[in-house]
Structure formats: structure tokens, C-alpha cells
Amino acid sequence: MSKYVIRRVVQAIPVLFGITIVVYLILLLAPGGPTARFANNPRVTSEDREAFKKAWGLDQPPLIQYCRWMGLCNPDKGGNVLGVLPPPDAFIGNTGWPQFLPTPISGGTNGVLHGDFGVSIETGEDVGARIGRAALPTFILVGLAFIIWVFIALVIGVNAALRRYSIFDQAATVFAYVGYAMPTFWLGIMLIFTFGGPGLNILPVSGMTNTRASPPFGSDAYWTYFGDHTINALLDIGRHLILPVFTLVVVNIAGDSRFIRASMLEALGQDYVRTAKAKGLPGRVVTFKHALRNALLPVVTNIGLEIPFLFTGAIVTETIFSWPGIGSLTIGATRAFDYPTLMGVLLITSFLVVLANLLADIVYAFVDPRIKY
């Protein structure tokens, strides 16, 4: 097992490196660029735009920009080769060691390899700190929704498979089709209209906390308030969670429950299940120890692919309910042409996708002992 994990980690390194190139190329080729935020501002002259590019290093060739963003090049070393490539001395850190090595060795502090995702063009704030601040609200929202929808999807999917073509199975099928076809934005708007608008008006429909009663979430003042009024703060967050969590749960249960049902039906039709039944094993043992355990293999893969969703958040849902998470941050950065923030979000998300697939492969060995590495 340990050799397999090490091998997979080593294989992931070139994949992650390739992802950084793709992410950078996509945003490099995107129309507009960071200076597009000044397009409708008559006070910003062409000279101001050139000064902005120079200040942010956007006047350098793309390869040099990428090299500095990754932390492979020392930004203190100027010049270029043939107007395109970084100069050889740019790959050497201030200590004389290669720039890509850890900071204590190379002296380099810039770039992704040194934990520096750059500075936000929109706010001037460190991108890593900005993403970190938005990650907690997303983990709270999507993490809670994820636990609820996976549990309910398992219950519905397993029972629908065991009671195939029953009224329960037919009702679950109808629910799945309706929920899967229901647009997230429409469901969110209907919930806002019903429970927070001119309808019942009993639940908050925007934000994460009641800013009239507490400081903004995540601020130092808020954590002081949270420590002094823990119960009230938790109840406040809980009330704001109801509608966005319900939106995510309904939309995601639909697809996952059908996926689990199909996987369970396939497992129930296998020879080892019929053999277990022929031996006279109790139905509960056959279902949960033999069939369900093997039916979880494709489910684990599906859940593994949904893990990055815990970080990226539900962009549509967070936007509708003004939830201050990664989804809202991504939308705001896109509107402001804040490319450093977008590249940071995309890069961390890609890393989580690779990590989730690695974790799913490891879980296989515990779910199905027949799998050997």
C-alpha cells in the first residue's frame, strides 16, 4: 500500500505541473486581461494602463510571467533572452541555490512553489489570505450539505434497490427526475420568494449572519462576539444555512440516489450475493456486509470527484444567497478581471481533484479487500 501511495504521489507531480500551465494559458488567452477593468473609465489614460502593467509585471513576456508566478524565477533578476525566455541567472535564488527550492534554501519567497499566490488586483490583498478567508464559509455551507445529501442519497438509493418497482422506488424515481431537472437558480429564487420574500418571510435569504446583531463574519470583532455569545451566533448561522443547504441537498440527492440505486442493483445480482442467500445468511448481513460494501466502489469514485466541490463551493447557490464563500469570490474576481485570485482558486481546485482521486483509490482497498496494490 505504501509503495502504491508513493508511486501515485510521484505520478501526480507532472500532472499538477501540467495543470499550472493549462490554468495560466486559459487566463492568458482570455479576452480583455486585467486592464479591461479600466475600459469604461475615461480618467484612465493609455499611459496609466502601461504604468499599471509595469507595476504588476504584465509587461514581461508570458514565459517570464509564468516563471515568476510559479516561483521558478527570481523577480529581482531582470532582462530576457531573445525577448521571450527568462535569463539563466533568474533561475538562481538569492542564496545561490535554484529558485524553486524551499525558501530556507533558495531564499525565494515569490510564486506558488513558495506558497505565494500573488496579490489581488482588485483589493491589493494577498491572494492566499483572501482565499483562506472565503474558504471557511464554503466549508460550513457545502460540508453540511454534502454530509446530508450523501446520507439521504444512500438511504434512498439502497431502499429503492431493495424494494425495486415498489411505490417507494417509483416515488424516489419521480423525485430524482424532478430534482435533477430543476435548475439550481430557480429553486433558490423560489425558496427566497416563499420563505423570505412576500411569502412567509420567516427565514433570512442573504448573507451568513445578521449584521445588525453581530459584526461581519470572519472579522476579529466577530470572533470576539462569537466567544461571548456562542449559542446566539450558532443559531444565527444555522438560520442562514437552511435555505442554501436545502437547495444544494435537493439538487444533489437526485443524481446520487439514482447512482447508488443502480450500483446496488448490480451488486444484488452478483453470484456471491446469491451464494450468501443460499447459505441461509440473514438478509441484513447479505445486504450490508456483502452487497452494499461492493456497491460502494463506484459510489466512492463519485463522492471522490465531489470532494473538490467542498472548496470551490456552489457558485450559483452562493451568488443567489449572497454567501461569502469561494463561489462568490470567484464571481467577484471574474467581474473585476482579478486574474491572480482566479488562478489561485483554479490551481487549488485542481490540486484537490488530484488529491480526491488518490484518496478514492486508497479507500478502494478498505471497501473491497479483493483489490491489491
So where are the chain's domains?
Answer: 20-114, 127-367
Q: What is the DSSP letter of 98?
A: B
Average pLDDT over residues 69-81: 85
Q: What is the pLDDT of residue 367?
A: 65
In angstroms, the CA 100 to CA 67 distance is 10
Q: What CATH code would you report for 127-367?
A: 1.10.3720.10
Three-state DSSP class for residue 119: strand
In angstroms, the CA 141 to CA 317 distance is 10
For the cut 70, the answer to whether the pLDDT of residue 368 exceeds it is: no
Q: What is the pLDDT of residue 93?
A: 86
In angstroms, the CA 204 to CA 343 distance is 33
For residue 11, name the pLDDT band (cuts at 50, 70, 90): confident
For residue 1, name the pLDDT band (cuts at 50, 70, 90): low
For residue 372, name the pLDDT band (cuts at 50, 70, 90): low
Q: What is the DSSP letter of 87?
A: P
Q: What is the pLDDT of residue 240?
A: 92
Taking the mean position of all CA atoms in its chain, how far away is CA 74? 31
Residue 334 · residue 340 · CB < 8 Å:
no
Q: What is the pLDDT of residue 316?
A: 85
Q: Output the average pLDDT for the chain.
A: 83
* Residue given cell 501515485 in the structure block: 8
In angstroms, the CA 59 to CA 55 distance is 9
Q: What is the pLDDT of residue 239?
A: 92
In sequence order, what are the beta bridge partners of 81? 85
CB atoms within 10 A of CB 186: 11
| Exposure letters 274-310 (e unless 16+ CB within 10 A, then b) | eebeeeeeeeeebbeebbbebbbbebbbbbbebbbbb
For residue 244, name the pLDDT band (cuts at 50, 70, 90): very high
Residue 236's identity, in one-letter code, is D
Please give the model's pTM, rounded to 2 decimal places.
0.81
For residue 95, name the pLDDT band (cuts at 50, 70, 90): confident
For the cut 80, the answer to whether the pLDDT of residue 245 exceeds it is: yes
In angstroms, the CA 296 to CA 55 distance is 53
Average pLDDT over residues 197-226: 84
% pLDDT > 90, the chain: 7
In angstroms, the CA 189 to CA 49 distance is 40
Residue 15 · residue 372 · CB < 8 Å:
no
Alpha helices, H only, 95-126: 103-106
For the cut 90, the answer to whether the pLDDT of residue 198 exceeds it is: no
Q: What is the pLDDT of residue 278?
A: 82
